[in-house]
């Protein structure tokens, strides 16, 4: 019995080694009698929609040494130090004391240094080509494109989000060696080629991006804000045509040693941060009211309804005031279009309260507030929307004109685009196509419709009203003669530690053109401008300059 058991045990062990464990043992054996030189895959390029290069690679090299194969360690260390411009004592210490059979002598070595090194023909020293990331446009689109780590792994932005496509797969060059790692004379090398990464084509139009960045710099120079941002959307596809955050930084000189500064400069605030939108949110309140009126809801106000001229509304013992004192007949007896022109808070309080919490929250959900838009970028914010069951009347009243709600810039831009493009809400996108160098397309992103928000009739009515805001109301500084520009200004007080921060405002403007057939939408947000702070004074002219630039760039003819 014991002999039978022992026989079975040995048979099982034999089977395990020969069949189950054979592959792993094969790898171990291969590792013992071979040494490999890594062949680093070339990281995929990043371009704008027209092929403008935004992220590329430059040749760099990594130098290795096998301590067992280096005969004269002192001389080799000195020669390496001289050729590569590194510390010879450190190299010598690695060669003599490091337990690993293979050490990394230096990374990111230039071509000239490697050529100098190759002429020395040092035993046990070899090198492999690496790829160092290079950004031809410097600080342009820095928060969108992002950057890589020293090992060429995506760390932020598109570089990180699409790293699995961009990174590729490394290869190897295998040499047969003896037990101490010295290459066997006459051995044949085995070549395992690298698979280069896929290229990524953004939806960004670099020409428009330049216009946006220039306009933000001018605004920053004039008003010295804490920050400023702008996003330009294609209204009919939700492709992001431009996205800029001020201040910026050079992608080729990332401040890696200052964590606080790095976080501040690399943060894409339009996607990752939230703010109270103020009066720009009145576009959404108006859209809900117009649609409900068209649907026959008696609680909605018609476009001809005249709102009373009172400067205040009392809701749950809370007084809601207009920014104007209504003196000299200002804001007296207004229609909805006039209320938008004048940005009169009490009128939008009336709308929100009349529609009621249930109906108003249905529209907030349709327009994507309180949830992510789904943009292909990491760290997107959800926004801040009070749970419906906890909302009081005074809360609902304030949400109606853009307070007691916090949104991200991308949320507001997409919601506005949907409100004026016929009621179509798409998933916003930064990447248009993923493709190989030979032209093979791995992924071609098409517009993805999430839902309908309002009808085309309601959307067209709203667009006409917002055109009046630019022509006759608070958005006049975005007006361009001969072109139908529309939009809405916003000026919101900032809160810190639950209280109003005295003298701190967020100025904004969201606009689009042509008003009758929208194509381009721009949202400008200026945080804590100094001197002037109204959105009509600070943000609207910035948007107007961007629109004027797009008109020139795209050769858009004026309307007769």
Q: What is the pLDDT of residues 100-131, one digit of tens each?
A: 667 787 887 777 887 787 787 777 777 777 77
Does residue 47 carry a pLDDT above 70? yes
Per-residue pLDDT tens over the stretch 202-229: 999 999 999 999 999 999 999 999 999 9
Burial readout 260-277 (b: 16 or more C-beta within 10 A, e: otherwise): eebeebbbbbbbbbbbbb
Give the per-residue pLDDT at 27: 46
Does residue 241 carry a pLDDT above 80? yes
Structure tokens, 189: 């090398």
Nearest to 246 by CA among 274, 222, 226, 271: 226
pTM of the model: 0.86
CA 441/CA 444 separation, integer angstroms? 7
Q: Identify whether 324 is a catalytic site residue.
A: no
Q: Which of 67, 248, 279, 408 is catalytic?
A: 279
Nearest to 302 by CA among 339, 330, 344: 339
Q: Which residues contact 448 (CB under 8 A, 6 or more apart)?
A: 426, 427
Per-residue pLDDT tens over the stretch 513-547: 999 999 999 999 999 999 999 999 999 999 999 99
What fold, for 206-250+258-553?
Answer: Beta-lactamase (3.40.710)
Q: Is 392 left (phi over 0), alpha (psi -120 to 50) or beta?
A: beta
Q: Where are the domains of the chain?
A: 30-202, 206-250+258-553
Helix (H) or strand (E) holding 206, with range, is helix 206-223
Superfamily assignment of 30-202 in CATH? Penicillin-binding protein 2a (Domain 2) (3.90.1310.10)
Does residue 179 carry a pLDDT above 70? no
Helix (H) or strand (E) holding 339, with range, is helix 336-342
Determine phi and psi for 241, rounding to 5 degrees. Answer: -90, -25
Chain-wide mean pLDDT for the chain? 88
Percent above pLDDT 90 for the chain: 64
Query: 522, 546 in Cβ contact below 8 A?
Result: yes
Q: Which residues contact 254 (CB under 8 A, 6 or more apart)?
A: 147, 262, 266
Q: What is the mean pLDDT of residues 444-472?
A: 97
Count CB atoms within 10 A of the CB of residue 196. 21
């Amino acid at each position: 019995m014991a002999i039978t058991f022992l026989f079975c045990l040995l048979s099982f062990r034999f089977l395990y080694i020969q069949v189950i464990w054979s592959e792993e043992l094969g790898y171990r054996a291969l590792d013992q009698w071979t040494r490999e030189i890594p062949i680093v895959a070339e990281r995929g390029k990043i371009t704008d929609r027209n092929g403008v290069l935004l992220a590329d690679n430059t040749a760099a090299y990594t130098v290795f040494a096998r301590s067992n194969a280096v005969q004269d360690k002192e001389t080799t260390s000195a020669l390496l130090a001289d050729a590569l411009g590194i510390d010879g004592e450190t190299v010598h210490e690695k060669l003599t004391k490091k337990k690993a059979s293979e050490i990394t002598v230096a990374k990111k070595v230039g071509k000239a240094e490697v050529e100098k090194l190759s002429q020395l023909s040092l035993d046990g020293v070899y090198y492999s080509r690496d790829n160092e990331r290079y950004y031809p446009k410097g600080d342009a689109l820095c928060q969108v494109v992002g950057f890589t780590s020293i090992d060429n792994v995506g760390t932020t932005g598109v570089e990180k989000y699409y790293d699995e496509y961009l990174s590729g797969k490394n290869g190897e060059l295998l040499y047969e060696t003896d037990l101490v790692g010295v290459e066997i004379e006459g051995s044949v090398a085995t070549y395992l080629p690298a698979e280069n990464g896929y290229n990524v084509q953004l939806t960004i139009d670099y020409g428009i991006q330049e216009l946006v960045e220039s306009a933000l710099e001018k605004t920053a120079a004039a008003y010295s804000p804490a920050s400023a941002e702008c996003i330009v959307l294609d209204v009919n596809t939700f492709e992001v045509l431009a996205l800029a955050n001020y201040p910026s930084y050079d992608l080729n000189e990332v401040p890696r040693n200052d964590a606080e500064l790095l976080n501040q400069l690399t943060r894409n605030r339009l996607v990752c941060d939230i703010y109270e939108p103020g009066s720009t949110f009145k576009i959404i309140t108006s859209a809900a009211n117009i649609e409900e009126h068209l649907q026959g809801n008696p609680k909605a106000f018609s476009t001809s309804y005249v709102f009373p001229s009172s400067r205040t509304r009392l809701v749950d013992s809370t007084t809601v005031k207009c920014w104007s004192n209504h003196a000299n007949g200002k804001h007296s007896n207004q229609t909805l279009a006039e209320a938008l022109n004048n940005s009169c808070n009490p009128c939008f309080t009336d709308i929100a309260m009349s529609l009621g919490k249930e109906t108003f929250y249905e529209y907030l959900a349709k327009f994507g507030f309180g949830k992510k838009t789904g943009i292909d970028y990491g760290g997107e914010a959800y926004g801040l929307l009070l749970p419906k069951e906890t909302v009081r009347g005074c809360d609902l009243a304030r949400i109606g004109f853009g307070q007691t709600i916090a949104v991200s810039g991308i949320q507001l831009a997409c919601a506005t685009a949907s409100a004026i493009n016929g009621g179509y809400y798409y998933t916003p996108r930064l990447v248009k196509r993923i493709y190989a160098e030979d032209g093979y397309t791995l992924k071609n992103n098409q517009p993805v419709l999430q839902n309908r928000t309002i009808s085309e009739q309601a959307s067209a009515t709203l667009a006409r009203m917002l055109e009046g805001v630019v022509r006759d109301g608070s958005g006049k500084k975005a007006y361009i003669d001969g072109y139908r520009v529309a939009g809405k200004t916003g000026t919101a007080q900032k809160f810190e530690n639950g209280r109003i921060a005295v003298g701190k405002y967020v100025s904004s403007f969201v606009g689009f053109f042509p008003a009758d057939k929208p194509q381009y939408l721009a949202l400008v947000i200026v945080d804590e401008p100094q001197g002037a702070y109204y959105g009509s004074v600070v943000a609207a002219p910035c948007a107007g300059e961007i629109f004027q630039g797009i008109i020139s760039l795209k050769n858009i003819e004026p309307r007769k």
